[in-house]
Structure 1
Amino acid sequence: MSLEVNFSMRFNTRLVVILWLAGLAGVLSFLLIDLDALIKLLPIPAETEIPPIPALKLLSLIQQAVILAVAVLVGVALASKVGLSSPVAEAAASGGDAVSAFKPQIIPGIIGGLAGGVSLVLIAAVLKPFLSPEMLARIGEFGKVLPFPTRLLYGGILEELLLRWGLMTLLVWTAWRLFQKGRGQPKPSFFVGAILVSSLVFAIGHLPIA
């Protein structure tokens, strides 16, 4: 039993470190953003006193790194309880073959990515006539402020760890504990609800630029 506990603790510790470091790449990519240009795009009152950019970046990095750590810890503690996992990270944490764990995700990932990309393009095309010229100009400028590495690492890794691995897992676990008393497998509706809520939080987090 002691060996099992020690192995579990080592595995969880490694998993936390792996996921946190992956997310940290997204946190550090924030340094690539022209923060002064980004602030000018936000609807901030003119009289608002903005801290020096270096200090603002440092505080943002610290804040995001701490929030990331909390999200990773929550996910590691609760994901397995509700049947969720991170196959590649878990394979790496256990000393297994991460490449083999990644292969089954390639085709679904490509299909899902293409479907999501096409959906976003179609939604943008439908909504564009309803947006003001000022809004369209702001969206265009916002896109120029975000370098490609930041979009890839911040949006593709960091936000997924925060909102999917952390928040979504917590929501599923909470519903499972409240409505099923922690027994059996969580109902599919819990996952659907958690996905919707975490997506809503994601959208709300991007409202300031609108």
Structure 2
Amino acid sequence: MNKLDFKISLFLSFICFISGFFVLPYQLDILQRTLPNQYDEFIGTIPLPINLLILVTSFQLFFISFGLSLIGIKLARKTGFSLNIFTSLFNKEKVSLNKKSVLLSVIFGVFIALIISGADRFYYQYQIPLIRENTPEFSFLALLVGVLYGGFFEEILLRLFFMSLLIWIFQKIFNRNKSSLNNKYYWIAIVISAALFAAGHLPATEMLFGELSTNLIVRCFLLNGTGGLLFGYLYWKKGFEYAVLAHMVSHISLQLLFIPLFY
């Protein structure tokens, strides 16, 4: 096993482990505020003490993210994706940030937060009563979950692992002559990963609203899919770390900028 890849994977999975301590409390908090009756029913069905369940969740995220990271890093290196910042960091080399890429990541993150909050504030609250009835407020718990779980675990799963896997498969099928892979295959991988990213939010959407109407499904794919497309582009063109940065900035902007601005 490559020691460098092991160190990077261990670092990423440790962050996911920490995120696990906030994911379940965050989900329960949302459920309690929006659907208190279902919250009481759910609490009654939990077979373990909450604190123990939180610990189990953290270890699950650790082991899953560690395995996905190890595989994803190897696939990324075979398919030309970059992890230059983490590579330099764990090789004890000077870490060089591309200022233009950092700026682009920040712009993308702020834009995604604007789309998500703006769509609910100016359109979906008039289409979906539960959104109108539950005005969003700043949540430190939501901020932590967004930055740690969203920024790291979701990017490990959908960009580092899944998108790298798709490109590796495309290379095996369509690139046997070893020439550079056509850009269309990268866009296909980006779109599929973004769609999977959006679909992954459907269970949470159903739990939050108690149903999955056509309007809610479209909202889920539109708001989350936009982020997935931009994160995928950053992973392809700039590197994994910049996709993580943009994802983190989107949650920071949502909590610290657009929720106070719009509400």
Relative to the length of structure 1, the TM-score reads 0.77
Asked whether the 8 Å contact 1:75–1:166 carries over to 2, the reply is yes
Q: Following the alignment from structure 1 to structure 2, what is the Cα–Cα distance between the partners of residues 90 and 105?
A: 17
Asked whether the 8 Å contact 1:24–1:158 carries over to 2, the reply is no
Q: Following the alignment from structure 1 to structure 2, what is the Cα–Cα distance between the partners of residues 34 and 121?
A: 19
Q: What residue in structure 1 maps to residue 127 of structure 2? A: 130
Structure scoring higher RCO (CA < 8 A, sep ≥ 6) equals 1
Q: Following the alignment from structure 2 to structure 1, what is the Cα–Cα distance between the partners of residues 123 and 143?
A: 25
- Following superposition, the deviation at residue 91 of structure 1 comes to 1.0
- Determine helix, strand or coil for the equivalent of 2:45: coil
Aligned CA RMSD, in angstroms, stands at 3.1
Asked whether the 8 Å contact 2:19–2:58 carries over to 1, the reply is no
Q: What are the ranges of 5 or more consecutive residues in structure 1 without an aligned counterpart? A: 1-7
Determine if the alignment matches structure 1 residue 115 to structure 2 residue 111.
yes
Q: What residue in structure 2 maps to residue 86 of structure 1? A: 83
Q: Following the alignment from structure 2 to structure 1, what is the Cα–Cα distance between the partners of residues 125 and 93?
A: 47
Determine if the alignment matches structure 1 residue 65 to structure 2 residue 62.
yes
Percent identity reads 24
Q: What residue in structure 1 maps to residue 216 of structure 2? A: none
Q: What residue in structure 1 maps to residue 3 of structure 2? A: 10
Q: Following the alignment from structure 2 to structure 1, what is the Cα–Cα distance between the partners of residues 197 and 40?
A: 24
Q: What residue in structure 2 maps to residue 74 of structure 1? A: 71
Equivalent residue for 1:208, pick from 203, 209, 217: 203
Alignment of 1:16-165 (within 5 A): 16-30=9-23, 33=25, 36-38=28-30, 40=32, 46=41, 49-52=45-48, 53-98=50-95, 100-101=96-97, 103-124=99-120, 125-131=122-128, 133-137=129-133, 140=136, 146-165=141-160
Task: Name the aligned partner's letter for residue 183 of structure 1.
Answer: K
- Following superposition, the deviation at residue 27 of structure 1 comes to 3.2
Relative to the length of structure 2, the TM-score reads 0.63
CA deviation string 1:98-157 (max 9, x = no partner): 2x23545322212222332333334333333221x225446848x759432222211122
The structure-2 alpha-carbon separation of the partners of 1:176 and 1:123, relative to structure 1 and needing over 3 Å to count, comes to farther
Q: What residue in structure 2 maps to residue 172 of structure 1? A: 167
CA deviation string 1:166-210 (max 9, x = no partner): 111112212222222382333222221222222222222221232
Deviates more, 1:106-115 or 1:145-154: 145-154
- Following superposition, the deviation at residue 77 of structure 1 comes to 0.9
- Following superposition, the deviation at residue 39 of structure 1 comes to 5.2
